[in-house]
Amino acid sequence: MRKRRRRTSGVSLGTILTLTLLGLVISGCVLLLPKLMGSINDRVDAQRVSVAIDASLRSLHGDTATPAGLSPNATPATAPPLEIAAYATPTPTAPPESTRRFSLTAAGSISIDTDIQQACTGAEGYAFEPVFAQLTGLLKGDLNVATLENLTVINEKLTDVNMPGDALAALRAAKFNVLCTGFPGVLSLGISGLGETLNAISTSGMTPYGTYLSQDARNHVVALQTKNIMVALLSFQGELSSASKKQTSTEEQAYAIAPLTLPAITAEITAARAAGAQIVVVSLCWGKVGATVPTGTQRELAQGIANAGADIILGTHSGAVQTVELLSATRADGSVHNTVCAYSLGYLLNSDRSNRDNVSGMLLHIDMTYDLALDTLAFDSLTYTPTYIWREKIDDATVYSVVPSNAAPPEAMGSGQQDVMARSLSLVRERLAGSAATEAKP
């Protein structure tokens, strides 16, 4: 009779090996699945996986002892649940910027004559900053430009033309960063006086343009790189004062200023474009003093300058605010573009109060967008802030200050000056009625 084989209690070696392999497969899946699912946030604890395998083997033997390394109240030894990764649509790389925004604020002429110099003189020296203090926040362009009708030469007598250098620091503090130097008296202290003035402007942190110390300097375009936009600054004038003519030779005058003729203007605009200028600003010292409207000749010249490629035309010299127009121009290549033309910005500052025009000015604000791909300039906004030159006796001292005339008057301004400022505001509004520029809110 054949003996029966005794059954062995417990788990066979094959079963143990099978369970072990199964545990390894499970742990591999736990480790790899999050990566296959694309989750970069899930992390698997290797110790918990080994504990899970060990617990499975122990349960086959009926061993429920807590494994070493885990406290009795630890989280049950099971693999943590998987989280499904949330896939976001990849953000495309932003294309290179195709347009650039640019802004310019243009003021009229600034003449710091002897009356203003005296009013700004105190026991501790000059104090020109209060003259422009009311303009805080209004000079907000990438370029803030004005025409300076002064020289600053240290070893020369102070006059209506020659001013103290301290005034330049006040202009810079007011946020002006570009000054046109084209005016009739610019050569009244000779080429050396012009050179000292240009150097003083540069040293004060502003860029001068419009006059030149040599023919070589004249042959170079004055341009600024601002916000990745290259802006050319050109200036032309039709006359010089008798003092300027007396102090310089005909040869010096020929290179020191650029003549107010269309061929000369066209040649310089063409050179500026060839040099890479994307915006061309043309300042003009032109017109009859006191004129309140542009002549037919001025309009014809302005159209020619626009056709030659100018983007912005800024007129001075008449001393009175005139209209602002948006000219439609056709360039040499046949392309059509717009040109802003301010025939006269009037005075921002001077002491002459013989008529209302002399105390009434404006700040012209131009917001633009330049398209790099199309090489075109669009004018997004064209507004103006009317200004008034306030002069009054306060505590026996004469005070000059440029104020926005459409804003609340300064507390120290008397009722008489408030009335004059109101009439000045009406004058500026009348001159710019129907123009391309609208009044900015105070």
List, for residues 218-258, the tens digit of each pLDDT value.
Answer: 999 999 998 889 999 999 999 999 999 999 999 999 999 99
CA nearest to 11, candidates 2, 22, 19, 1: 19
19: confidence class by pLDDT, cuts 50, 70, 90: low
pLDDT of residue 21: 54
Amino acid at 284: L
Q: Tell me the pLDDT tens digit for each residue of 400-437.
A: 999 999 999 999 999 999 999 999 999 999 999 999 99
| Alpha carbon distance 359, 413 (integer Å) | 15
* Mean pLDDT, residues 178-198 taken together: 98
Q: Is-contact 103 366, C-beta < 8 A?
A: yes
DSSP sequence for 125-180: EE--HHHHGGGTTT--SSEEEEEE--B--TTS---SSB--THHHHHHHHTT--EEE
pLDDT of residue 12: 53
Residue 65 contacts by C-beta under 8 Å, 6 or more apart in sequence? 58
Is pLDDT above 60 for 96? yes
User: Which residues, listed in sequence order, are joined to residue 376 by a DSSP beta bridge?
Assistant: 371
Q: Model pTM greater than 0.85?
A: no
Helix (H) or strand (E) holding 348: strand 347-349
Is pLDDT above 70 for 111? yes
pLDDT of residue 104: 98
31: confidence class by pLDDT, cuts 50, 70, 90: very low
Residue 255 contacts by C-beta under 8 Å, 6 or more apart in sequence? 212, 214, 215, 217, 218
* Mean pLDDT, residues 344-372 taken together: 97
82: confidence class by pLDDT, cuts 50, 70, 90: very low
pLDDT of residue 94: 55
The secondary structure of residue 94, as a DSSP letter, is P
pLDDT of residue 92: 58
- Burial of residue 436 (CB within 10 Å: 0-12, 13-18, 19+) is middle
* Mean pLDDT, residues 265-285 taken together: 96
Domains and CATH numbers, the chain: 14-84 (no CATH), 100-439 (3.60.21.10)
* Mean pLDDT, residues 133-148 taken together: 97
Mapped onto helix, strand or coil, the DSSP state of residue 433 is coil
Q: Tell me the pLDDT tens digit for each residue of 66-77.
A: 333 333 333 333
